Amino acid sequence: MAGPAASNEIARRLAEYATEAGLDAIVCLSPENVAYAAGFVIPSQPLMRWRHAAHIVTADAREAIVCVDMEESTVRAARPDLPVRGWAEFTGDPMAALADQLRELGLAGGTIGMELGYLSVTDHGVLADALAGAALRPADDLITRARRLKTPRERDLLARLSRISDQAIGDSLRAVRAGDTEMDIAAALTRSVYEQGAQQFKLMIVATGERSQLPNVGPTTRVLEPGDVCRVEIFSVLDGYQAGVCRTAVVGEAPPEAERIYQNLVKCKYLVREAIRPGAAARDVYATFLAEFEQLGMPPISFVGHSIGVNLHERPYLGPHATETLEAGMVLGMEPLVYRSGHGFGMQIKDMVSVEEDGCHLLSDVTGTDELFRIEA
């Protein structure tokens, strides 16, 4: 668990945003944003929506956490520096507990920024009734804005996760040959992720042969055959953060058109990396990708990258409708790809990069992507 040091800079940032917006506090409620603000994941919150948790940071940077009673000891162990209020799962109410904690912080009559987009109408009503003297205001956009620029600790963590994902994919592709199955790839992939120290993984994609045209599919018992194109992607996870990497391989000799299509994606990869820099418009990066990709005459993806952190996809997107400008401190996933090539296979190169003052830095730097990865036939 990351603990207090991970959260301090983020809490200060949220406190500054609260002050600028005229708020007395910001309350994070979704599993992703609680993990972001607290510095660790409350284990069952992402699994059971009714097990509400909350992280509170006041405008003067005081913090507190509310959680279900069965995980109170886990939360106290992770954040012994913070007040923690537990609510009884079967006899208590999380919104009443949150209201009690806000009152204890002196916010009974305050203006409180809430992650209202996460709350149900019922829960919002209970909280509003329990804290009738306070003004509840949406803070979703403020939290999203705070998350765009990663702290040094976040960047280090995402760099580590990028290499774990990249290494795991390379390990899995070297572990199989023709006659093995997609499940064999998945077994080697997940073993490597855990051996390298990740706590879990999300969105594992193992798509081979004709299935490589499908966007987000997991492994099956399909047997690898010579000439198969294979797309393998995984998001390794630590402390609620994830980094996704995708590699494309071929079993033995590549099918017709595969090399030509893949080399176009390689060119796109380098052009996108060159375009990613502080001050660049996110939509201009997409336009750079599209100018090269259109030479294939194939349907393009609607974005070629996105920010990433405690969510798999975060703003800004590198797409035609993006309004953001890139800034140093952002971490992005960039992914030139084609699903519908018209030749019975799809291909993808997904890398993790950071936006630095001097340009784009590659984080997923373990497995080379200039050539198709070869699986033994």
> Distance between CA atoms of 238 and 333, rounded to whole angstroms?
17
Contact 13, 33 (CB under 8 A): no
Same fold, 4-147 and 152-375: no
Average pLDDT value for residue range 13-24: 98
Q: Up-side HSE of residue 300: CA atoms within 13 Å toward CB?
A: 24
Q: Is the pLDDT of residue 38 over 90?
A: yes
Confidence band of 4 (pLDDT split at 50, 70, 90): low
Round to whole Å and give the CA distance between 334 and 214.
19
pLDDT per residue as tens digits for the range 355-374: 999 999 999 999 999 999 99
Residue 133, judged by CB atoms within 10 A of its CB (0-12, 13-18, 19+), counts as exposed
**pLDDT tens digits for range 95-112:** 999 999 999 999 999 999
- Identify whether the C-beta of residue 293 lies closer than 8 Å to the C-beta of residue 336: yes
Per-residue pLDDT band for 354 (boundaries 50, 70, 90) equals very high
Please give the Cα distance from 338 to 264 (Å, whole number).
10
Domains of the chain: which residue ranges? Answer: 4-147, 152-375
113 in Cβ contact with 135 (< 8 Å): no
Neighbour order of strands in the sheet with 314-317: 314-317, 305-307, 331-334, 351-356, 359-362
Tell me the C-alpha to C-alpha distance, in Å, between residue 337 and each of 248, 366, 374: 10, 20, 18
> Strand 331-334 vs strand 351-356: parallel, antiparallel, or unpaired?
antiparallel
Across the range 282-286, mean pLDDT stands at 99
pTM greater than 0.85: yes
Average pLDDT rounded to a whole number, residues 182-202: 98
Q: What percent of the chain has pLDDT over 70?
A: 98
Whether the predicted pLDDT of 207 surpasses 60: yes
Examine the pLDDT at 1 and tell me if it is beyond 50.
no
Distance from C-alpha of 249 to C-alpha of 229, rounded to nearest angstrom: 6
- Which sign, positive or negative, has the C-alpha torsion 165, 251, 368, 272? negative
For 75-96, how does the pLDDT look when each residue is reduced to its tens digit (9 = 90+)?
A: 999 999 999 999 999 999 999 9
pLDDT for position 64: 98
Rounded Cα distance between 279 and 109, Å, is 41
What is the C-alpha to C-alpha distance for residues 77 and 278, in angstroms, rounded to an integer?
39
**Confidence category of residue 8, pLDDT binned at 50, 70, 90:** confident
Measuring CA to CA, how many Å separate 82 from each of 29, 57, 63, 146, 212?
Answer: 17, 11, 6, 21, 48
Residue 2 has pLDDT above 70, yes or no: no
Q: Let me know the angle formed at the C-alpha of 33 by 29 and 39, rounded to the nearest 5 degrees.
A: 115
Whether 7 has a pLDDT exceeding 90, the answer reads no
Q: What mean pLDDT is predicted for residues 175-186?
A: 99
pLDDT tens-digit readout, 115-148: 999 999 999 999 999 999 999 999 999 999 999 9
Fold of 4-147: Creatine Amidinohydrolase; Chain A, domain 1 (3.40.350)
Angle at which helix 282-293 crosses helix 258-275, to 10 degrees, equals 160
Cα dihedral 58, 59, 61, 66, rounded to 10, equals 10
Burial class (CB in 10 A: 0-12, 13-18, 19+), 312: middle
3-state secondary structure of 177: strand
289-334 pLDDT, tens digit each = 999 999 999 999 999 999 999 999 999 999 999 999 999 999 999 9
* Superfamily of domain 152-375, CATH level 4: Creatinase/methionine aminopeptidase superfamily (3.90.230.10)
What crossing angle do the helices spanning 31-38 and 140-148 adopt, rounded to 10°?
50
